[in-house]
Structure 1
Amino acid sequence: MQALGILAPDGETRSPRPICRPCLDWSERRPHLAGVLGAAICSHALHHGWVRRRPGTRALEITPEGRMGFRQAFGIEGGAG
């Protein structure tokens, strides 16, 4: 995460939120990563065009750039939206 610039080199955070924890989405009933790390990954992905917001919803969709970015950064394939 530090190599991608997602977390500070010292790993410190000034947020009272936990760094990382699992969370079950209340509407979709699907697990996701919550906390400072989840928010940082989301911000990073939005900033780099890996994901985009679906208009009128809370949903995100993975872009073609994101499929490549997630594969290179984390070794995972982007799923269907």
Structure 2
Amino acid sequence: MAERGQLVLGHDGAALTGAGIALLADLGIAGAALAPCRACLDWSERRPHLAGAPATALYRHFVAQSWVRPREGSRALEVTRAGEAALSRWFGISL
């Protein structure tokens, strides 16, 4: 989202841009787009990522749409075939 201009992300904070708010609205999770977001430092890659209500809403949407599924006994997620297509379509991510 940051690379697409939908999110301003840094070690000291995060904010959705108008394009990011529009993306969440298009996904049907507009309410969360208006909630404050924050940056969280990833423990493994040492890079900031989206956190807060918008991140939680995205996660729940991804699970509800069966784009990802939790890996049993782990915090890891598995991306489904439908998720691969959705990540490409909505976020420009190619796996």
Category of TM-score, reference length = shorter chain? 0.7 to 0.9
Alignment of 1:1-81 (within 5 A): 1-8=24-31, 11-13=33-35, 19-26=36-43, 28-31=44-47, 32-78=49-95
Amino acid at match of 2:57: A
Give distance in 2, aligned partners of 1:25 and 1:33.
Answer: 10
Choose between structure 1 and 2: higher strand proportion.
2
**TM-score (structure 1 length as normaliser):** 0.72
Judging by fraction of residues, say which structure has more helix. Answer: 2
Residue 3 of structure 1, CA deviation: 1.1
Q: Using the alignment, how far apart are the partners of 1:30 and 1:38 within structure 2?
A: 18
Distance 1:56 1:30, change over 3 A: farther
Runs of 4+ in structure 1 over 2 Å off:
28-32
> Quick one: percent identity of the two aligned structures?
43
Point out where structure 2 has 5 or more consecutive residues left out of the alignment: 1-23
Number of aligned residue pairs: 71
Q: Name the TM-score, length of structure 2 as normaliser.
A: 0.63
Contact 1:7 1:40 in 2 (8 A): no
5+ unaligned residues in a row in structure 1: which ranges?
14-18
